[in-house]
A and B are shown apart, each in its own frame.
Chain A
Amino acid sequence: MIQLPDALAISFAVGAAAAFVLGELAFADTADLRAIYWLAVGTVSLRAAVQLGRRGAKT
């Protein structure tokens, strides 16, 4: 059974993937500010997912 923190971590990772897609679309659209914003959201979201997923890990 999947635990709540793991589900949260997965949802953060999915959110990060969506943010990266939006960021890349914005870059392709030459909307640089919007692209940087979405890439920052994706990076922080991915960081949260990894930190949440690694809570209590031995390594």
Chain B
Amino acid sequence: MKSFLRSTSSATDPGSPPASARPARRLYERVSDLGSAAQASVPGAYAWAATVAPAAWSRGGGTLAKATAVLALVALAGGWAAERRWGERARIASLWGFVLASATTWSAVPAALAPLRIDAPRGLAGMLGWALFALALAAPSLQGKGTAAPAAGDAEPLVARRRLARGDAPYLAAAALVAASLQTIGWRVAGAERALLVRFVALAAGLALIDAAATLALARHARGVRRGVRLRGWMAAVVVLAMLLLSGLLFALRG
């Protein structure tokens, strides 16, 4: 790690050897030369191998499932090859081709997606692969020194407008930890609909927790002007919460 940091950071030093001489820097430059579709094809291939291929070549996977699985891989590779020539259009065609072909594969073998046939590590690996694929496609692609457009004042280091306040990270880290642990529940549920519902609820609850943690962390720095304005708001929420808890308690005692 240290050697990588040294090799990437010292590339801008005037006295250091040329950047192309450093292996890590050279690898970064080579990855940067690829387009975003090509960069996304690595996690895409991983997601395909974790979720599409096992479904297509599982017991009961017919010719249609296998053909569309191969088609998905072809669409992914085609995006890599065609992006240099057709740019954005090739990237979009590759994305939709890959996603639709994968969806057709899953539709052709619905039994392969049954929770009892997908173990938790493979399910998590598939989720991670698709998330990385989406992120790599949506985020701006890496750009090397040679391909990036020169910006004004590029030679001078940028000065931060303000420092990030301390203590925000634990809020987000705790929320992310809870959101991640919510994803570990319900992997042995029987029935595809129930399994999907559990996953959807876990995702929504995790996002809500992370959003609330970010709001709480940011609100600590923005106080002082309208103190007490939202008093009624939180008291109303607390009253509703108390009523809910009380009714739950009464219901439990009665049952």
Contacts and interface: CB of A to CB of B under 8 A. Distances in A.
Contacts of B227: 55-56
Contact of A17 (B178, B201, B216): B178
Nearest to A6: B220
Contact of B248 (A35, A37, A50): A37
Nearest to B209: A17
Contacts of A55: 223, 227-231, 234
Interface string A1-35: 00000100110110011001101110110100001
Contacts, number: 119
Contacts of A10: 216
Most buried by A among B178, B194, B231, B234: B234
Contacts of A39: 201, 205
Interface in B207-245: 208-209, 212-213, 215-216, 218-220, 222-231, 233-234, 237-238, 240-241, 244-245
A23 B201 contact: yes
B212 A21 contact: no
A44 B185 contact: no
A51 B237 contact: yes
A36 B37 CA distance: 41
Nearest to A46: B212
Nearest to A53: B216
Main SS class of interface, B: helix
B205 A56 contact: no
B240 A44 contact: yes
Interface in B43-58: none
B136 interface: no
In which size bucket is the chain A interface?
Answer: 35 or more
In which size bucket is the chain B interface?
Answer: 35 or more
Given A24-B182, A24-B185, A57 B209 contact: no
Contacts of A30: 194
Contact of B216 (A20, A37, A49): A49
B198 A27 contact: yes
A9 B215 CA distance: 11
B192 interface: no
A27 B197 contact: yes
Contacts of B223: 55-58
Contacts of B186: 24-25, 27-28
Contact of B194 (A27, A44, A47): A27
B216 A59 contact: no
Contacts of A48: 234, 237-238, 241
Contacts of B241: 12, 41, 44-45, 48
Contacts of B245: 41
22 contacts: A17-B209, A20-B209, A24-B198, A27-B186, A27-B198, A28-B185, A28-B189, A41-B241, A41-B244, A41-B245, A44-B240, A44-B241, A49-B216, A50-B215, A54-B215, A54-B216, A56-B225, A56-B230, A57-B219, A57-B222, A57-B223, A59-B218
